[in-house]
Amino acid sequence: MPVRVGILGATGAVGQRFIQLLDDHPTFELATVTASEASAGKTYREAAKWRVNTQIPDDVAEMTVGETAPSAVPDDVDLLFSSLPSGVAREVEPAFLEAGYVVSSNSSNDRMAEDVPLTIPEINPGHLDLIEIQRDERGWDGALVKNPNCSTITMVPTLAALDEFGLESVQVSTLQAVSGAGYSGVTSMEIIDNAIPHIGGEEEKMETESRKLLGEFDGTGIDLHGMDVAASCNRVPTLDGHLENVFAETAEDASPAEAAEAMRASSGVDLPSSPEQLIHVFEDFERPQPRMDRGRGDGMQISAGGLQETTDGLKYNCLAHNTIRGAAGASLLNGELLVADGWV
């Protein structure tokens, strides 16, 4: 039996990626789409300014967009994906949880809440057990699970691999694609022939979310990883794919070859959207590059390269597709884990 799913905020940039990724999904069947009051009542084709590089699936194009309220979602929908602006999500997600829905959300609100799992299925699937605590504390039957920020999720799988040598500190500088800011986020006059050395809130997200993702669940909560993380975030004129330069210090010395081996050993998990190998490591120092490598593993694989020793540790580059592995694909994969683990 397929799992019937819905998308909250389905007309937006990330919502469109959800629709693309759900087309022909082996277990999920898209049953409902919601957006703002301005879109509700229109067909999806009328409401969405479609920007993804595949056609709108015919059945979705003719769906009527619903209001983003539990009363507008059919009772037989088992799982909701949320790609609402975070201010909106903060207000409306609780209503869905109180109504008993399981929500896999990409929006940044509540990612650091103590009772909300922030998960990457290949890295910290056990954190889903926080749902029991969440339900006890909040008194709802639903469940809220978040995926991390797109820049955080690009780096964390590589850090998880290096943690076998005892991660102590990480510095990272990002080169983030314009799609991360949304379709109207930066104007062409701002970004062409330019780079912007600030993305509001992004550095703090990388510094905090990475410690939660690599933290230990002790049965009552998450003990944050003890590493220090410092991030510097930059917007550059690429369309999709965040490239990051990472400097890492570990307690035990790791050579570039040992670090590459640890990264290559990071495997995917047995879920439809997980790649077979989580991290592809290039020997070629000119890779990874956004245009050439963001599509690896259908946009779900992390790429790394340029591994070298520094006086204090290692440096390397990593890359991921920010709207697939960094957004819709990450939520979808969390949804697959929720089903596999029996939460849906």
Ligand X SMILES: NC(=O)C1=CN([C@@H]2O[C@H](COP(=O)(O)OP(=O)(O)OC[C@H]3O[C@@H](n4cnc5c(N)ncnc54)[C@H](OP(=O)(O)O)[C@@H]3O)[C@@H](O)[C@H]2O)C=CC1
H-state helical runs in 99-146: 130-138
Please report, for residues 178, 184, 219, 228, the alpha-carbon distance to residue 189 in angstroms, rounded to integers and kept in the order given.
12, 12, 51, 36
- The verdict on 240 binding ligand PHD (CB under 6 A) reads no
Nearer to ligand X, 180 or 290 (CB): 180
- Residue pointed to by tokens 């703002």: 36
Residue numbers 90-129 binding ligand X by CB under 6 A: 106-108
Residue 240, both tokens: 């999709």
Q: Please compute, for residue 323, the number of CA atoms within 13 A of its CA located in the half-sphere on the CB side.
A: 24
Sign of CA dihedral 36, 39, 44, 47: negative
Residue 317 contacts which entry, ligand X, ligand PHD, none (Cβ below 5-8 A, type-dependent): none
Check residue 86 for interaction with ligand X (CB under 6 A): yes
| Closest to ligand X by CB, 11 or 154 | 11
- DSSP strand pairing (143-146 vs 228-232): unpaired
CB of 13 or CB of 161, closer to ligand X:
13
Catalytic residue among 150, 225, 233, 321: 150
Interface with ligand X (CB under 6 A), residue from 5, 6, 13, 214: 13
Is there binding between residue 154 and ligand PHD (CB under 6 A)? no
Cα–Cα distance for residue pair 293/99, rounded to 1 Å: 41
Question: What value, to the nearest 5°, has the Cα angle with vertex 319 and ends 334 and 296?
Answer: 70
Q: Mark the segment that binds ligand X (CB under 6 A) among 7-15, 129-137, 189-197, 218-226.
A: 7-15
Among the listed residues 46, 215, 1, 291, the one whose alpha carbon sits nearest the alpha carbon of residue 10: 46
H-assigned helices in 269-344: 290-293, 329-340
Q: Using CB atoms, what's the residue nearest to ligand PHD?
A: 180
Interface with ligand PHD includes 317 (CB under 6 A)? no
Site residues (vs ligand PHD, CB under 6 A):
86, 108, 149-150, 176, 180-181, 199, 202, 205, 322
What amino acid positions are annotated as catalytic residues?
Answer: 150, 242
Site residues (vs ligand X, CB under 6 A):
9-15, 35-36, 38-39, 68, 83-86, 88, 106-108, 150, 179-180, 182-183, 322-323, 326-327
